[in-house]
Amino acid sequence: MILMLLGAPGAGKGTQAVKLAEILKIPHISTGDIFRANIKNRTELGQLAASYINNGLLVPDEVTVAIVEDRLSQPDCVDGAILDGFPRTIPQAEKLDAFLESIGKKLDVVVNIVVDDQAVIERISQRRVCPNCKATYHLGHRPPKNGVNCDACGHEVVLRDDDTPEVIAKRLKEYHSSTEPLVDYYKEKGNLIESIGVDGIQESLDNTIRALIMRNA
Ligand code: ADP
Ligand code: ZN
């Protein structure tokens, strides 16, 4: 099953994707994580990606699509994947549809996580991430146990370079102009869209997954 999580930056796509990947036993593909790993390893792709990411802009479609197609072609994706943060533009979505068709798959379900801008700003400014194992925390309602170090691996948690107020504002603008149109794109195409709010997100997603498993059984 190919499942995609759509939503503004900081909506909680990553957190939910990790849980879903575990439940559904399929890989979690996060374009943001792939870019950050490349930035950390100082690859050419990382250098290119950083110039966009740190300015709150989207990485160009050609680059992003090629990375995802390559990732989806790996053997661990035979039974599907959870797409987190991709597609983020209409051209990316069109390319993904064509690619999936070429490998005999389709995007089975799109889950749209709805959160307003003010909440995004609050959540992202409180977000801390572990640069070592990628665990994420919220200083308010999900802080690391000792306030400073990752519960999972002990590394110090940090504010992401693109989680500053200035860059957050630009990312929100990009989201509204480039990514939000995907909600209508998928509605029109008839991909199942479950629009769920961030309050009670866990329960809504659990219900969605249950329904999906029943449908695919
Ligand atoms: P968030 O959902 O909090 O914005 P991500 O880790 O998904 O975080 O993305 C971080 C950044 O990586 C984005 O702001 C963007 O610059 C880049 N990025 C991630 N996915 C894509 C994509 N599908 N297309 C273009 N750029 C992307
Ligand atoms: Zn960690």
Residue spans of the domains in the chain: they are 2-116+166-216
Identify the residue whose tokens are 């219900």. 207
Taking the CA of residue 52 as reference, the ligand 1 atom at the shortest distance is 16
Tokens of 128: 């801390």
Q: Is 129 helix (H, G, I), strand (E, B) or coil?
A: strand
- Look at residue 29 and tell me whether its pLDDT is greater than 90: yes
Name the catalytic one among 71, 88, 123, 128: 88
Q: CB neighbours (10 Å) of residue 103?
A: 12
Q: Give residues (CB < 6 A) around ligand 1.
A: 9-10, 13, 31-32, 35, 52-53, 57-59, 64, 85-88, 92, 162, 171
Taking the CA of residue 30 as reference, the ligand 1 atom at the shortest distance is 7
| Strand (E) or helix (H) holding 100 | helix 90-102
Provide the CATH number for the domain formed by 2-116+166-216 in this structure: 3.40.50.300
pTM comes to 0.93
- Quick one: residue 42, left, alpha or beta (phi over 0 = left, psi -120 to 50 = alpha)? left
Taking the CA of residue 33 as reference, the ligand 1 atom at the shortest distance is 6
Q: Looking at residues 199-208, what average pLDDT do you find?
A: 79
CA of 173 to the centre of ligand 1 (A): 13
Give residues with Cβ within 8 angstroms of 121, minimum separation 6: 165, 168, 172
Q: Phi and psi of 48, rounded to 5°?
A: -65, -50
Model pLDDT for residues 126-183, shown as the tens digit of each residue:
999 999 998 999 999 899 999 999 999 999 999 999 999 999 999 999 999 999 999 9
Model pLDDT for residues 108-126, shown as the tens digit of each residue:
999 999 999 999 999 999 9
